[in-house]
Structure 1
Amino acid sequence: MATVEHCLYCFETLAARLEKRTPMTLYQVQSSWAAYPKEDSPPTTKPKLPALQRLSESRSSSTGSSTPSSSTSTTSLTPASSLSSFSPIGLHPRRTSQRSSTLTESPLFVTWNTLSSSSPHQKSLRGCIGTFTSTPLSAGLSSYALASAIQDDRFSPISLRELSSLEVSVTLLTDFETCPSPLDWEIGVHGIRISFYARNKRYGACYLPDVAVEQEWDKEETVVSAMRKAGWGGRREKWMEVGDLKVVRFQGVAESVGWGEFRRWREWVEKGKEEGK
């Protein structure tokens, strides 16, 4: 799973680029965070989203449900001839305390959000790009932190003056499975990657796991929205009539860090340098 260190590294990469300095390496960030006095950081617990709360309550009241698992690899589901980079919309990540110190590579997405000055829990998407190809984390996080901040063509490049209003989220993707049918996946658990033919053209798009929950879509609405995102303009009731519709489900829990947390840690790092530690 993604970690706080992964998020700090993304912030460090972008801030260093905009400040025209050399960034710390992922290893340096991880080592520094391990020594950082966490008690100096205020708690960052976030309230559960209303839609996610309703979904959780619905699950707890039902019986006999299960979450399928699979050992299918990412590579077998992402052919070399397909696009390996997408820009999902609507992601509002959730914080998790899960950690992985041994993971060295993974498919991943980096998301930048602008936080509302009036309410820290309100945010708007500022950039999101990632890859379904398993990528070394050091190179992948650095590359996609910059790509999502500067090269997402839906937005203007992030500027230095915007850093203080930002939150970064990292999602490491796992458990890729080809769905037997387009709706054979679970809201709140799976993200989806779709591909299909229409009018002799191949289309593709994806949504990360949180999107359907955030938008309060059912599964059909999510698939149709993904098709619209890919560029399909057909009638909604005809969505199952497109050619060779394939849906791959995957999992991934996002970790997020805001500018304030990054700044406090970075100031501690600089203070240590000044003191010769």
Structure 2
Amino acid sequence: MERFPFSLTDTEKTALKDLVWRRIMDRLNRRETPLAEPPSDILREPYGVFVTLKRRGALRGCIGHIVADRPIWRNVADMALAAAFEDPRFPPLGRAELDGLEVEITILSPLAPCPDPDRIEVGRHGLFIRKGLHSGLLLPQVPVEWGWDRVTFLRQTCRKAGLDEDVWKDPDTKIYWFEGVVF
């Protein structure tokens, strides 16, 4: 896998984070502000994204759209609401939780079949594992945050998919990798 040749300016990153906050505040204030036009052309390009919310360092919501079929701007706006109010692991975000809330955005490269699990680099690659009706995804920053090695990363992605942790060794299991720009 070649390096993901994607970058954003600090201004574009700030605009995306501001967009997340606006969408969350609009929902909390029960108003619907029309989605503004993105401030640059790159934010109109189709990429998958994840929006992660953490409160005082602990995960509070994380939802993404992995298919590059919609503009970054639209995906971030939609995933902001999903991470805050629709993550099934958490109740909808409440106003009292805004203090200490942090926003992290990950822009995904296209997913590609991983040719060899030995080539997975912790901190560079994210993983998507699929077997039958089960699938699970972990972002590139997750194994770094948890101090995992490559094998633990593969096992944890299998567990996220609801599969036995060593099913990644099964030739019928599909392993995809991707990179992400995280900010």
Give the 3 Å change call, closer, same or farther, for CA 206–183 of structure 1 in structure 2: farther
Percentage of pairs with the same residue: 32
Matched AA of 1:14:
I
Q: CA deviation at 1:203?
A: 1.7
CA distance in 2, matches of 1:247, 1:22: 39
CA distance in 1, matches of 2:101, 2:34: 20
- The C-alpha deviation readout for 1:104-124, integer Å capped at 9, x for no partner, is 121111111102xxxxxxx00
Does 1:253 pair with 2:170?
no
Pairing 1:256-271 to 2, within 5 Å after superposition: none
8 Å CA contact 1:196–1:242 kept in 2: the answer is no
Q: CA deviation at 1:146?
A: 0.6
SS of 2:117's equivalent? Answer: coil
SS of 2:67's equivalent? Answer: strand
SS of 2:104's equivalent? Answer: strand
Pairing 1:50-69 to 2, within 5 Å after superposition: none
Identify the match of residue 95 of structure 2 among 160, 175, 184. 160
Gaps of 5+ in 1: 31-99, 116-122, 256-277
8 Å CA contact 1:6–1:26 kept in 2: the answer is no
Does 1:5 pair with 2:15?
yes
* Aligned equivalent of 2:124: 189
* Aligned equivalent of 1:149: 84
* Aligned equivalent of 1:108: 49
* Aligned equivalent of 2:64: 130
- The C-alpha deviation readout for 1:221-265, integer Å capped at 9, x for no partner, is 1111111111124xx5x535535112111111212xxxxxxxxxx
CA distance in 2, matches of 1:218, 1:247: 17
Backbone CA RMSD of aligned residues: 2.1
Give the 3 Å change call, closer, same or farther, for CA 240–10 of structure 1 in structure 2: closer
* Aligned equivalent of 1:58: none
8 Å CA contact 2:48–2:67 kept in 1: the answer is yes
CA distance in 1, matches of 2:31, 2:43: 28
How many pairs does the alignment contain?
Answer: 171
Does 1:215 pair with 2:146?
yes
SS of 1:248's equivalent? Answer: strand
Give the 3 Å change call, closer, same or farther, for CA 216–102 of structure 1 in structure 2: same
SS of 1:103's equivalent? Answer: helix
CA distance in 2, matches of 1:166, 1:181: 38
Gaps of 5+ in 2: 1-6
**TM-score (normalised: structure 2):** 0.83
SS of 1:154's equivalent? Answer: coil
* Aligned equivalent of 2:37: 27
Identify the match of residue 225 of structure 1 among 156, 159, 171. 156
Matched AA of 1:246:
K
CA distance in 2, matches of 1:156, 1:4: 27
Matched AA of 1:129:
I
**TM-score (normalised: structure 1):** 0.57
Give the 3 Å change call, closer, same or farther, for CA 189–164 of structure 1 in structure 2: same
SS of 2:98's equivalent? Answer: helix
CA distance in 1, matches of 2:19, 2:34: 8
Q: CA deviation at 1:26?
A: 4.0
Bigger Rg, structure 1 or 2? 1
SS of 1:183's equivalent? Answer: helix
Give the 3 Å change call, closer, same or farther, for CA 217–20 of structure 1 in structure 2: same
